[in-house]
Structure 1
């Protein structure tokens, strides 16, 4: 690895890095403010109780997930059959339109719950395209021996955007509800330019299979490769149960009483922990016992979520959010590298879209699960029991997917199988 070229020395990788930073910074800011405005609108305008408003946050996650679910097969196919730069730019343009619409809605005071939910659903539809297209570009511009480091530095872009976006958005929201959306619109416009500046990426040869068969081919590949199946489903079910971010408005306004600025800090805290870990991995990427480390990281994520749910201290809550972000980053780094290196290039877009679907399902359906649980138990116990559930899922996956704990390195296992045959 010491002889591998550093990814930041590659022009196109730098553009990918900047594109990811800008898009995540903007879109996370928009999602956080949409959630905050849904909760505040429900509490102040509709006069709902905290449990009822928390349930709306769960429905908001569902609204984002449904278009993501429906469009995932199409997104993966387009990422494998079209110029990935244009796919990413088009989806960014949709997010730009969403940010501008919300900025105008707040400026001219025609904001409503139906509008917030409709635009959240549009964001879910746009996001399904940008993930597979950008992720699938990285192995095309970075040598295989540099990919673990490239994934780590890409995570720095993601997590630093996740920190800066919510923090800036929270402070802007406290001053003018339209300002976070104008901020996001500027970043998205620049992100469209940077992704289009990437040099053209070779498009895989056109398949003779029917488009529907091509979509199914990616899912069949993941299903046959138990190693990939374990990686994808571990994140799906652990984060599905252990997601705390959807309930942050409830914690900020009705549990910890820290307001808009506190919400921004809480939403950014996981990104702080994740960015620090990503920075470390960028210079010292792990190579040994990667499967065991991934499993332990998910267990720590569950424990930190459990502690956060029960905390009544703002400082302790921020610390646990940073810890769960750090643990999640270790898991994301290992899982992303394993998926990229264990997938042939002609299927990489479709497999990335399936991985993205699992991540979206875990996040958005996790928000729905948290909303339902909060409606019954309140936000505190909904988050705490979800964290305990993530620990249980990790223990179960250790048993039913022994391939995960036996993974010692990032070596592509599908190629090893082909060599044995």
Structure 2
């Protein structure tokens, strides 16, 4: 190599991977995500096998939602006052211990529906503290200029975990739910070790007492930032109305007449589409018209939900879920860049907590809504109604939040006061 070649600047991809702590951050996050996905397949199939009730699948979502509803905002305050690093490690170790308990209880045939609801609620409580703290890692590790690529890389690896987790979970469930939970225990413990190896420094923050004003600080901040509020609330209603994943056990067994392996493939469908889109966006990130692209992606999400709802073919159902996942990852990336880059560091924990309350809990509340609606009108009408509702919300939000619609370049976003 010539001297001129050796002095040439590194490519953005190489520069990104050289950021200290990035690899450990990604490994820790994605091992945790992988374990959560394996657990979701096992819990969903086990609870449906025990009850044969669509409503019981909805109660799983409710059991996860309630702890997040109660704890996420206080958890955001905690993330802004204490070591975010230690918070994440502690939560991951509790998750590993709970998964170990689930494995033993399933192995000994001591687990029933109410025990599953209780353990899922414990995981919901852990995620309420873990996720707001974990969301602050990436902007603390990579510079703003590399954040869109880092977010795309993180999302693509996250989606790989979401593909491998359900697929492997479906296969391993054939050996028993205890096998799935044992794997989850190993995964959560390994994620805690990876997180512990991250070396990063956060700015010193002045401790504040826990008051209603400080806990609600994230909401107050978002009320002043209309584009951020629009992005978060749009995803809330899209996921709430268009969440078909809660009914996948019903589709796999009663509509598509398949087994746990097919359920794993269906659960992996959104992630397969998302990882393809995330890889594309890692190489070609959104340059212009980010707001319009986000609204278009949510509309596509609604259409794909409707197609999945009416499908009676496993390949078509998986394809519809892949399109759904690809559309969703676009809105996730735009929203993530808008929130993480537009929020000052001293507010990131609380704003991330509000984001996770809206987005994370909407997944569980959407599962509850889907399960209850399916119990009343049937699984297919419930999914179709949700997809139509997503399209309606998209049109309304385009009029309510013109600032979000006109959002252009993501790398121009600056922290707001």
Q: Same fold (TM over 0.5)?
A: yes
* Residues 1:208 and 1:247: Cα distance change in structure 2 (over 3 Å): closer
Q: Which runs of 5+ in 1 are unaligned?
A: 44-52
**Are the aligned partners of 1:60 and 1:368 in contact in 2 as well (CA < 8 Å)?**
yes
Equivalence map 1:201-350=2 (5 Å): 201-208=201-208, 210-350=210-350
**Are the aligned partners of 2:140 and 2:200 in contact in 1 as well (CA < 8 Å)?**
no
Q: What's the counterpart of residue 25 of structure 1? A: 34
Per-residue CA deviation, residues 17-57 of structure 1 (Å, 9 max, x unaligned), is 111110000012112211111111002xxxxxxxxx11111
Per-residue CA deviation, residues 75-102 of structure 1 (Å, 9 max, x unaligned), is 1112111111111111111211221111
Match of 1:7 among 11, 16, 21: 16
Q: What's the counterpart of residue 199 of structure 1? A: 199
Equivalence map 1:16-415=2 (5 Å): 16-43=25-52, 53-208=53-208, 210-411=210-411
Q: What's the counterpart of residue 48 of structure 1? A: none
Select between 289-298 and 133-142 the one with higher mean Cα deviation. Answer: 133-142
Q: CA deviation at 1:141?
A: 1.0
Q: CA deviation at 1:11?
A: 3.1
* Distance in structure 2 (CA, Å) of the matches to 1:279 and 1:150: 11
Q: TM-score of the superposition, structure 1-length normalised?
A: 0.94
* Distance in structure 2 (CA, Å) of the matches to 1:57 and 1:378: 14
**Are the aligned partners of 1:5 and 1:146 in contact in 2 as well (CA < 8 Å)?**
no
User: Aligned Cα RMSD in Å?
Assistant: 1.6
Q: CA deviation at 1:411?
A: 5.0
* Residues 1:334 and 1:6: Cα distance change in structure 2 (over 3 Å): farther
Q: CA deviation at 1:200?
A: 4.0
Q: What's the counterpart of residue 6 of structure 2? A: none
**Are the aligned partners of 1:338 and 1:412 in contact in 2 as well (CA < 8 Å)?**
no
Q: Which runs of 5+ in 2 are unaligned?
A: 1-9
* Distance in structure 2 (CA, Å) of the matches to 1:393 and 1:98: 38
* Distance in structure 1 (CA, Å) of the matches to 2:139 and 2:209: 24
**Are the aligned partners of 2:73 and 2:357 in contact in 1 as well (CA < 8 Å)?**
no
* Distance in structure 1 (CA, Å) of the matches to 2:317 and 2:196: 40
SS in 2 for 1:201: coil
Per-residue CA deviation, residues 256-278 of structure 1 (Å, 9 max, x unaligned), is 01111000110011101001111
SS in 2 for 1:258: coil
SS in 1 for 2:39: helix
**Are the aligned partners of 1:20 and 1:157 in contact in 2 as well (CA < 8 Å)?**
no
Q: CA deviation at 1:297?
A: 0.3
* Distance in structure 2 (CA, Å) of the matches to 1:88 and 1:290: 31
SS in 2 for 1:178: helix
Per-residue CA deviation, residues 234-291 of structure 1 (Å, 9 max, x unaligned), is 0001110000100000001111011110001100111010011111111211121000
**Are the aligned partners of 1:81 and 1:206 in contact in 2 as well (CA < 8 Å)?**
yes
Q: CA deviation at 1:7?
A: 2.3
Per-residue CA deviation, residues 98-130 of structure 1 (Å, 9 max, x unaligned), is 211111111111010110000011111111122
Q: TM-score of the superposition, structure 2-length normalised?
A: 0.95
* Residues 1:152 and 1:42: Cα distance change in structure 2 (over 3 Å): same
* Distance in structure 1 (CA, Å) of the matches to 2:374 and 2:245: 13
Per-residue CA deviation, residues 307-358 of structure 1 (Å, 9 max, x unaligned), is 1000001110000011100000111111111111111111011101110111
Q: What's the counterpart of residue 7 of structure 2? A: none
